[in-house]
A and B are shown apart, each in its own frame.
Chain A
Amino acid sequence: MERKLAALFDFQKFENNSDLQKVIDAVHARSARRELSMEDLEYVNAAQGSYISPEQNPLEKPRK
C-alpha cells in the first residue's frame, strides 16, 4: 500500500488530477493554519515571558 501511494502521489505531480489536488491543497491550507496558530502561541508565550511588571523592574522608581 505504501509503494502504491508513493507511486500514485508521484504520478499526481505529473498528472495534476483536479480532484486529488483539491484534497492536497486543503491539507496544505490546514497545515499552514496550524503552523500560524502555533507561531502565534509562541509569540504570546514569548511576550508573556518577557513582560516585567513595574513592581518587579529594578529600574522603575518606587512609587510613593
Chain B
Amino acid sequence: MTTPDVGQIYTDYHGKVMGYIRARVQSAADAEDLCSDVFEKVFLKIGDYDSEKSALSTWIFTITRNTVIDFFRRNHPSDELDENIPDDSEVDAALLRTETLSELAMALRHLPAQFAEIVVLRYYDNKPLTEIADRLGISYGAVKLRHQAALKALREALGEN
C-alpha cells in the first residue's frame, strides 16, 4: 500500500474541506483555523489510512466532520450542536462513497417530483416537515404522507429492507 502524497491531498481537498466548514462556521477566522486543524490531523494520521477500508475522500470527510463537531462542543456547548450535522454513528462508513451519491441521485430521479422535493428539502436543506408544508402550500398531514411514501420508495430503490 502506498501512502498518498500530502501535497497532492492538500491541493485536491482544500476546497472541499473549506467549503464544508464555511457552510457551518460563521467566522472566517474560525473556519481557517479548523481547516488547518483538519489538514494537520490528515498529515499526522496519513500513515494509518487504509484504502481497503474507505476511499480517501470519505476518510478526509470524516476527519473534517468530526473536527467541526468538536469545535461546536468545545466553543458552543449551550448551542444546539449544529442540527445540520447528522449523527451518523450508526451509518456504515463504507456507505459514504461518491458511487452511493450517484445511486441516490438516480433513485431520486425515479421518484415523483413532489416526493424528491420533500426528500431534498428535508435531508439536504434540513427543513422540518412543518416548514416544508408551508413552502409547498399543502397540509402537514399531506407532507407527512408524501415523506413516508418517498422513504419507502427510496428504501426499495436502494435495496434496503
Most chain B beta-carbon neighbours within 10 Å: one of A8, A19, A30: A8
Say what secondary structure dominates the interface of chain B: helix
Most chain B beta-carbon neighbours within 10 Å: one of A2, A5, A30, A34: A5
How many residues in B have their beta carbons less than 8 Å from beta carbons of A? 44
Q: Is B91 an interface residue (CB 8 A)?
A: yes
Cβ contact of A8, chosen from B100, B117, B121, cutoff 8 A: B100
Cβ contact of B61, chosen from A14, A20, A23, cutoff 8 A: A14
Q: When the two chains form their complex, are residues A3 and B155 in contact, meaning their CB atoms are under 8 A apart?
A: no
Interface residues of B in 79-117 (CB under 8 A from A): 84-88, 90-91, 95-96, 98, 100-102, 104-106, 108-109, 113, 116-117
**Could you tell me the distance between the alpha carbons of A22 and B88 in the complex, rounded to whole angstroms?**
24
